[in-house]
Amino acid sequence: MTNRHNEVRRAFLHALQSHQVHEAIGLARLLFEENAPLRECMFIRKCIEKNIGEANAFPVVRVALLSSFSLEFIHDALIAVGFLSGLCVRIYQPGFAQFRQEILNPASGMYAFHPDVTILAVEGKHIAPDLYKNYLDRSEQELEAIKQEVASEINSLIEIFRKNIEGTLLIHNFAAPEFPELGILDGQLKKGQIQIIGELNSSLYQLAQQQGVFIVNYQSLVNRFGYTQWFDKKLEYYAQAPVAQLMLPNLASEYAKYFRALKGLSKKCLVVDLDNTLWGGIVGEDGPNGIKLNHQYPGSAFIEFQEAIFALYKRGIILAIASKNNPEDVDEVFESHPNMLLKKDHFASMEINWNPKSESIKKIAKGLNISLEHMVFVDDNPVECEQVREALPTVSVIHLGKQPEHFVNLLSKEGLFDTISFSLEDRSRSQLYKQRAQSEELKNSSASLEDFYRNLKMSVCFMPINEESLVRAAQLTQKTNQFNLTTIRYTEVDIAERMRDSNWVLRTVQVKDRYGDNGIVGLVMTKKEKEQLSIDTFLLSCRVIGRTIETAMLAFILKIAKTENFHSVVGKIIPTQKNVPARDFYRQHNFKLVEGSESGWSTWQYAVGKDLIPYPDWFAIAENDS
């Protein structure tokens, strides 16, 4: 171990001991990148267990590992990678090859563990040996039958799992054999080995079209690293552990993408530098025509990087710029450079000045109302990266370095922006944030707040959750942090179950204004309990906070309570680090505190009488019950 490495280890331990967790995460990332990852994983895990133990503030993810091979060696990596993501991973691992029993037996340890995520890591040759080993003994019809049998076994495992438990299920797809029995001829056959495993994988994807089941693309992971690196024959025979030790952190990282998405930790905003990041060279020195952005290397690599960023934009990631430059130079590039794929319009916020980048990022976060921990910053300059890392430890920093051909890989490999759902709202999110910035401007120009609300010409539509809005509803519970009274996270499965239960009243809130359709931005989930209507979930996306939509939502609930003759409406406030804007909500709306304290959990009640909180009169309201 080098001295530098020992220093980082010491700093990491120190940060942990002084409870500076975000600093500790930053240092752990350095350790992880620098050295033999397995030893670091073990070191990180031991330090966490010794110094923060159970008492950390991280969200807990309970993971059940069901496998057809020995997967114990991944535990250190899984815990370390979880820590890097700000998660506390707890693991349940039955003996290997127990996956069937664990799922089939309702009294199994796995069900008793109540996992949030269950991973079914089964190697193709273990569940379908005949497709891998005795291929040449089988006729085409037999192969087809075997394939269908395997698919239907997995289908019934999923069904039984679903009957017993609500958590998320991740299923590995299958890596085709490295050496097909017929060698180069395999590709010519109608049912070649590679082909038939491909068909089996396709049927897995069909099975995963149900809520809460996801396919881990194991085949593509193996391909990315290569069969020779991924598998370790010695270990396979010696310890029934076919995945090479060095590859386990990569497998753990793949799982962590799902954990982050489930726990609402997906990143939402990408802040980019400009010089030597979006283009080669320095515009202030080389001039707008001298920068490298064309179809020859290195210009071509920068174009490729812009394409990757543009794809993030299209999937709803908010883009922003933090660059030390003269605004006029940058304007000229945006306006006149023929190869600029990214336009000014794609960026919701631009900080082009000579301030420290950390200041610019803070300003961007404030203007867009996004918390720092949902932001990723990329820069080619190690000093700028270090400055941001130190000043804003919750921001994820990616140091791009000097070789633009690696930028796309560096930005993409961790899947920081990955989510487990994709809705219509996502496609246009960046536009919506831009609208929000515009309406902030309107707020400044309107004489009174009330004028501002009127000028917005808002309409609000309350709709029962349906098949189309289910994804979005679950996503809102997973991702909304600020205006969220209880912050209960629900999966699609959870919500679907409540949709079938007539005691629940579930409504999405869709808002339009003069700038466009904001889509579904709010959710209320209430439950009928004898004489009272109880508010379980009440949340509003941060981009539309501060427009009295929350008051309209409450008015809606009170109206239901009155129509259905409930005596009172009750609601809880569960404080989190993030939901400060929501804490005073019930008090402001004349609810009475019935239980709890100002700072901790509290329960509030509103007696349903003659006078109810009305809809603010600047809204057009639509209540749609069908």
Partner 1 sequence: MEEKIKELLVEILNIDLSSIDEATSMDNTASWDSMNHLNICFSLEQEFGISLEVDEMESMISFYDIIRVVEKKM
The residues that touch partner 1, with contacts defined as CB under 8 A, are 1, 36, 38-39, 42-43, 46, 72-73, 234-235, 237-239, 245-246
Nearer to partner 1 by C-beta: 42 or 182? 42
Rounded to a whole number of angstroms, the minimum distance from the CB of residue 101 to partner 1 is 22
Burial (Cβ within 10 Å: 0-12, 13-18, ≥19) of residue 286? middle
- Report the 3 state secondary structure along 486-507: CCCCCCHHHHHHHHCCCCEEEE
Nearer to partner 1 by C-beta: 40 or 102? 40
- For the record, the structure tokens of 606 come out as 């509103």
- For the record, the structure tokens of 213 come out as 């089941």
Rounded to a whole number of angstroms, the minimum distance from the CB of residue 109 to partner 1 is 19
Reduced to 3 states (helix: H, G, I; strand: E, B; else coil), residue 378 is strand
Reduced to 3 states (helix: H, G, I; strand: E, B; else coil), residue 121 is strand
Rounded to a whole number of angstroms, the minimum distance from the CB of residue 245 to partner 1 is 5
**Which candidate, 458, 464, 469, places its Cα nearest to that of 518?**
458
φ and ψ at 14, to 5 degrees? -65, -45
Rounded to a whole number of angstroms, the minimum distance from the CB of residue 16 to partner 1 is 16
Nearer to partner 1 by C-beta: 38 or 424? 38
Nearer to partner 1 by C-beta: 75 or 572? 75
Nearer to partner 1 by C-beta: 72 or 494? 72
Query: Residue 255: left if φ>0, alpha if ψ -120 to 50, beta else—which one?
Result: alpha
CA-to-CA distance for 304 and 275, rounded, in angstroms? 15
H helix intervals, 500-600: 549-563, 585-588
Rounded to a whole number of angstroms, the minimum distance from the CB of residue 47 to partner 1 is 11
Rounded to a whole number of angstroms, the minimum distance from the CB of residue 39 to partner 1 is 6
DSSP string, 311-325: HHHHTT-EEEEEEES
Nearer to partner 1 by C-beta: 85 or 250? 250
Nearer to partner 1 by C-beta: 240 or 455? 240
CA-to-CA distance for 260 and 358, rounded, in angstroms? 24
Rounded to a whole number of angstroms, the minimum distance from the CB of residue 229 to partner 1 is 14
Q: Is the peptide bond before 356 cis (omega within 30 degrees of 0)?
A: no
Rounded to a whole number of angstroms, the minimum distance from the CB of residue 38 to partner 1 is 6
**Which candidate, 111, 116, 117, places its Cα nearest to that of 94?**
111
Nearer to partner 1 by C-beta: 43 or 483? 43
Q: Is the dihedral of CA 185, 189, 191, 196 positive or negative?
A: positive
Contact yes or no for 579/552 (Cβ under 8 A): no
Q: Which amino acid is at 54?
A: E
Nearer to partner 1 by C-beta: 38 or 160? 38
503 contact partners, CB below 8 Å, separation of at least 6: 527, 528, 529
How would you classify the pairing of strands 568-573 and 602-607?
antiparallel
Rounded to a whole number of angstroms, the minimum distance from the CB of residue 100 to partner 1 is 24
Contact yes or no for 520/510 (Cβ under 8 A): yes
Rounded to a whole number of angstroms, the minimum distance from the CB of residue 240 to partner 1 is 11
Nearer to partner 1 by C-beta: 179 or 238? 238
